[in-house]
């Protein structure tokens, strides 16, 4: 790959080495006037990730390609200075999704080189791409559509056959995981201070985005009383993470049980990578009793069985159901007000 490709894939190891070879100091990137356009683009990458997604700038020459490439470390540093879990997840997902089309357009030799950067040995085959099933599981396990289950794939001698489209989707997940796990960076305080104006703009956009879904807006629901498992599920959903089916059911049924309306729940899932409004609305209405059966959210024991118990705290030891946690916590808070 060359700098023109690195502009599309700034997260690969060769791109990082290219940046190192440019031989400038970190503080220059955040102070020198010559890098002002790079800083602006880095800020816009973060703002776009909070909004509708990162757009890829066309880089017709080496200089513009290098500016696009350098904007990536600027964006990562800005995200790290803000150091917000929701922003980190959202940014990583947006970078990965914006790279998806570019991955699809790679030549076979480039694709093989690209996959090796993620320790995946990709071999072109008649149906598209073959990879070892362990590599498939590593990245497909968080994609919850039925076709991504290993049992629904063709396996021959331990290798899984994928279409070019599906392999690109798998690489999107690999990119997301790599970027997310690499954040936040340890950034010198003076660097964050020098970017104060950009950081204020990002924080304002982030606050605005978060306020689009506010639990406080729905009836007399008390978000401070949510059990840690549901706080985790809501945080993940709002960050655009594809929740496992069991956790999605638990979250939807819980929110319905405490009085949240269908529109609010559908809005919550709008940032999911594979969001389908009609399908989501149908599923929420189904759980709400459209077919005659109203579902109660799963018990704590069921949450543990499916691996959906997160952040257990002291009160969890005294209850056996997320709804019991909510009621008990509400009682404790109201008692403390008298």
**Residue 220 and residue 306 in one domain:** yes
**Residue 218 and residue 203 in one domain:** no
Question: What is the DSSP annotation of 294-319?
Answer: PPPPPPHHHHHHTT---S--GGGGG-
Comparing C-alpha atoms, which of 298, 304, 294, 329 is closest to residue 315?
A: 329
**Residue 66 and residue 190 in one domain:** yes
Task: Please check whether residue 191 lies inside any domain of the structure.
Answer: yes
Q: What is the pLDDT of residue 264?
A: 84
Under DSSP, is residue 256 helix (H, G, I), strand (E, B) or coil?
helix
Average pLDDT over residues 56-82: 92
pLDDT in tens, 303-332: 988 889 988 888 998 898 999 999 888 888
Q: Going along the chain, which residue ranges are E strands? A: 123-125, 128-132, 155-156, 159-162
pLDDT in tens, 114-153: 999 999 999 998 889 999 999 999 998 877 677 888 999 9
**How does the average pLDDT of the chain come out, rounded?**
87
**Residue 200 and residue 242 in one domain:** no
**Residue 63 and residue 141 in one domain:** no
Lookup: tokens for 240: 């655009």
Q: What is the pLDDT of residue 153?
A: 92
**Residue 126 and residue 273 in one domain:** no
Q: What is the pLDDT of residue 213?
A: 47
Among positive and negative, which fits the CA dihedral 297, 303, 308, 310? positive
pLDDT in tens, 85-109: 878 888 998 899 899 989 999 988 8
**Residue 199 and residue 217 in one domain:** no
Q: What is the pLDDT of residue 56?
A: 83
Residue 218 has pLDDT above 50, yes or no: no
Q: What is the pLDDT of residue 214?
A: 46
**Residue 219 and residue 197 in one domain:** no
**44-53, 55-64, 210-219, 223-232, range with the lowest pLDDT:** 210-219
Comparing C-alpha atoms, which of 306, 215, 316 is closest to residue 261?
A: 215
Task: Please check whether residue 75 lies inside any domain of the structure.
Answer: yes
Position 57 confidence tier, pLDDT thresholds 50, 70, 90:
confident
Helix (H) or strand (E) holding 335: helix 322-336
Position 209 confidence tier, pLDDT thresholds 50, 70, 90:
confident
Distance CA 73, CA 190 (A): 16
Lookup: tokens for 254: 């819980």
Task: Please check whether residue 101 lies inside any domain of the structure.
Answer: no
Residue 217 has pLDDT above 50, yes or no: no
**Residue 91 and residue 191 in one domain:** yes
Cis-peptide, bond into residue 184, ω within 30° of zero: yes
Q: Which domain holds residue 89?
A: 3-96+186-207
Task: Please check whether residue 315 lies inside any domain of the structure.
Answer: yes
Among positive and negative, which fits the CA dihedral 216, 220, 221, 224? positive
Residue 239 has pLDDT above 90, yes or no: no
Q: What is the pLDDT of residue 337?
A: 58
Query: Among residues of the chain, what percentage have pLDDT more than 70?
Result: 93
> Which residue is it, tokens 């149906």?
127
Which contacts of 204-207 are long-range, i.e. CB under 8 A and separated by 24 or more positions? 205/47, 205/50, 205/51, 206/50, 206/82, 206/84, 206/86, 206/87
Distance CA 119, CA 5 (A): 19
Distance CA 79, CA 232 (A): 21
Residue 110 has pLDDT above 80, yes or no: yes
Residue 236 has pLDDT above 80, yes or no: yes
Residue 212 has pLDDT above 70, yes or no: no
**Residue 192 and residue 261 in one domain:** no
Comparing C-alpha atoms, which of 8, 74, 11, 18 is closest to residue 41?
A: 74
Distance CA 234, CA 248 (A): 10
Task: Please check whether residue 54 lies inside any domain of the structure.
Answer: yes
Task: Please check whether residue 102 lies inside any domain of the structure.
Answer: no
Domain total of the chain = 3
**Residue 239 and residue 117 in one domain:** no
**Residue 90 and residue 133 in one domain:** no
């Amino acid at each position: 790959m060359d700098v023109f490709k690195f502009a599309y894939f700034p997260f690969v190891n060769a791109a990082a080495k290219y940046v190192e070879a440019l031989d400038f100091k970190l503080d220059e990137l955040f102070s020198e006037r010559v890098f002002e356009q790079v800083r602006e683009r880095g800020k816009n990458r973060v703002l776009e990730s909070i909004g509708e997604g990162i757009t890829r700038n066309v880089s017709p020459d080496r200089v513009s390609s290098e500016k696009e490439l350098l904007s990536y470390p600027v964006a990562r540093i800005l995200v790290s200075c803000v150091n917000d879990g929701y922003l980190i997840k959202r940014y990583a997902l947006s970078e990965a999704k914006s790279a998806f089309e570019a991955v699809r357009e790679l030549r076979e030799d480039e694709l093989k080189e690209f996959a090796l950067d993620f320790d995946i040995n990709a071999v072109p085959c008649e149906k598209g791409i073959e990879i070892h099933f362990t590599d498939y599981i590593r990245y497909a396990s968080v994609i919850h559509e039925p076709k991504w289950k290993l049992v629904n794939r063709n396996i021959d001698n331990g290798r899984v056959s994928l279409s070019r489209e599906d392999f690109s989707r798998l690489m999107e997940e690999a990119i997301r995981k790599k970027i997310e796990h690499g954040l936040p960076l340890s950034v010198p305080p003076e660097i964050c201070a020098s970017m104060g104006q950009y950081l204020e703009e990002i924080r304002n956009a982030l606050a605005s985005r978060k306020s689009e879904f506010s639990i406080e807006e729905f009836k007399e629901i008390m978000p401070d009383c949510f059990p840690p498992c549901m706080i985790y599920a809501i945080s993940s959903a709002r960050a655009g993470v594809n929740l496992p089916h069991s956790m999605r059911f638990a979250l939807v049924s819980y929110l319905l049980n405490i009085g949240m309306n269908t529109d609010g729940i559908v809005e919550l899932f709008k940032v999911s990578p594979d969001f389908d409004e009609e399908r989501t609305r149908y599923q929420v209405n189904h759980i709400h009793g459209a077919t005659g059966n109203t579902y109660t959210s799963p018990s704590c024991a069921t949450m543990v069985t499916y691996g959906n118990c997160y952040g257990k705290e002291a009160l969890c030891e005294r209850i056996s159901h997320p709804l019991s946690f909510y009621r008990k916590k509400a009682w404790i808070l109201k008692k403390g007000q008298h």
